Amino acid sequence: MNTPYIYFKFLGIHSFISTLDNSATEYTLFEDDFSELFTRHENILKEEDSITTGILTREGHQVFFAELGIKITKSFRSYFVFIFNRHPTLEDMDAVVLGLEDLISENLDKIDPSEITKSMQNPSGGHMIN
């Protein structure tokens, strides 16, 4: 299948943007409006889901990215990051959304339930399911 992105990674419950923040990596987020995709693909994307695009620039190199967050529980999103060789367009993200079901199916076996469980423990030692 021909895709508009050059690489993707399933990140589980860890946001690419949060990882950039935690590593003090400089980036710029674009103010793209993808609301049309949420309307067009309401059976796939829900209001709680997110699409964010941006660019990393380092030592004269540019990397464009799109982060897609899909709400999986009340408190958690599951994230994908897509790397592009140019600013992702609405059409690019439309193709990403259309291929999302296949990507999720291919990556379900990579989810580590213990990672989610550790994040859901409350201070008293019990579990909080959200």
Q: How confident is the model at residue 127 (pLDDT cuts 50, 70, 90)?
A: very low
Mean pLDDT of the chain: 84
The whole model's pTM is what?
A: 0.79
HSE-CB at 22 with a 13 A cutoff on CA atoms is: 6
Contact indicator for 67, 49 with CB cutoff of 8 Å: no
Q: Check residue 107 and give its pLDDT.
A: 64
88 has pLDDT over 50 = yes
Q: 68: which residues sit within 8 A by CB, 6+ positions away? A: 49, 50, 51, 79, 80, 81, 82, 96, 97, 100
Q: How confident is the model at residue 130 (pLDDT cuts 50, 70, 90)?
A: very low
Q: Write down the H helix ranges in 12-110.
A: 16-22, 35-40, 90-98, 100-107
Contact indicator for 29, 53 with CB cutoff of 8 Å: yes
Of residues 87 and 23, more confidence is placed in 87
- pLDDT > 90 fraction of the chain, expressed in percent and rounded: 56
Model confidence pLDDT, tens digit, residues 49-80: 999 999 998 888 899 999 999 998 888 888 99
Would strands 27-29 and 7-12 be described as parallel, antiparallel, or unpaired? unpaired
Q: Check residue 126 and give its pLDDT.
A: 45
Model confidence pLDDT, tens digit, residues 100-114: 888 777 766 655 556
